[in-house]
């Protein structure tokens, strides 16, 4: 137990760290099993347990592990023109978004994540007409800019990708690569802005490892769950997490 305590960050309790490791397992499992948003579920849980200043940077590194694995598996299906256009926009999104994000009060960040969670869960993803590949530059900017505040902004990049006439494998591969790019630029930006990743390395490694195990477990459950019932339950659980974030934010304001 002393070794485990030494590996984990001092800024949160041992119980909170263990809950985050478990959450990484289950959110990865649900993504693998039913295709729902494990990333948005994880950011909602993390926002309830972690200091706001560490939330988005740590989430970004954990998501690099998740998206990196998918990108490697689907590497031969990647369209590098899409990846380059996305990266070009992501550079500017990370630079501008990072400069603003570090100035936001913790309460505003939590409330914003709550709103974003509700939009992803209950709203409709944006729809675009058929777009040229260079439109991924705009998607890269918008996704990465928003991810500096909310941790994940997959619906935007995914919505543009869906208009490019990609096969299923190409869509999965390019979604993984663009998400990986977004998170890489995000952590570079936070590092340049002075965020200290070192105290969080132990927790990050354990969350990536548990997420990998969750992916394996979820893959075994694929097709064995009542997807409609699960999606309904998932929406209400995520709504409860969002309301908890609102409560944490509002009690600092009043």
- For every one of its 254 residues, what pLDDT tens digit does the chain have, with 9 covering 90 and above? 566 677 788 889 999 999 999 999 988 887 766 655 677 788 888 988 998 888 889 998 988 877 777 788 778 888 999 999 999 999 999 999 888 877 778 788 778 878 877 877 787 766 655 667 788 898 889 888 888 887 766 666 777 777 788 887 788 788 888 888 998 999 999 999 888 899 999 999 999 999 888 878 876 776 666 667 767 777 787 788 778 778 877 877 76
* Cα of 49 vs its chain's centroid, Å: 16
Helical (H) or strand (E) element with 241: helix 227-253
Residues whose CB falls within 8 Å of the CB of residue 150, separated by 6 or more in sequence, listed in order:
43, 56, 112, 113, 116
Separation of alpha carbons 197 and 226, rounded Å: 40
Q: How many CA atoms lie within 13 A of 227 on its CB side?
A: 10
Confidence (pTM): 0.78
Total Cβ atoms within 10 A of residue 250 = 13
């Amino acid at each position: 137990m002393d070794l485990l305590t030494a590996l984990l960050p001092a800024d949160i309790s041992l119980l909170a760290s263990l809950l985050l490791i478990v959450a990484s397992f289950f959110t990865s499992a649900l993504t693998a099993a039913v295709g729902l948003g494990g990333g948005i579920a994880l950011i909602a849980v993390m926002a309830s347990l972690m200091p706001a200043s560490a939330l988005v940077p740590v989430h970004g590194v954990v998501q690099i592990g998740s998206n990196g694995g998918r990108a490697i598996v689907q590497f031969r299906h990647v369209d590098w023109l899409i990846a380059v256009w996305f990266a070009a926009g992501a550079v500017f999104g990370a630079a501008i978004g990072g400069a603003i994000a570090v100035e936001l009060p913790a309460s505003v960040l939590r409330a914003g994540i709550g709103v974003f969670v509700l939009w992803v869960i209950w709203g409709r993803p944006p729809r675009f007409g058929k777009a040229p590949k260079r439109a991924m530059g705009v998607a890269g900017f918008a996704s990465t800019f928003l991810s500096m505040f909310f941790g994940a902004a997959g619906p935007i990049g995914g919505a543009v990708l869906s208009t490019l006439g990609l096969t299923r494998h190409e869509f999965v591969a390019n979604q993984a690569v663009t998400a990986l790019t977004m998170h890489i630029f995000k952590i570079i930006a936070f590092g340049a802005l002075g965020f200290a990743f070192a105290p969080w390395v132990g927790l990050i490694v354990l969350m990536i490892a548990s997420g990998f195990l969750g992916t394996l477990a979820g893959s075994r459950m694929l097709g064995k769950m009542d997807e409609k019932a699960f999606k309904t339950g998932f929406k209400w659980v995520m709504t409860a997490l969002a309301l908890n974030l609102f409560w944490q934010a509002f009690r600092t304001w009043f």
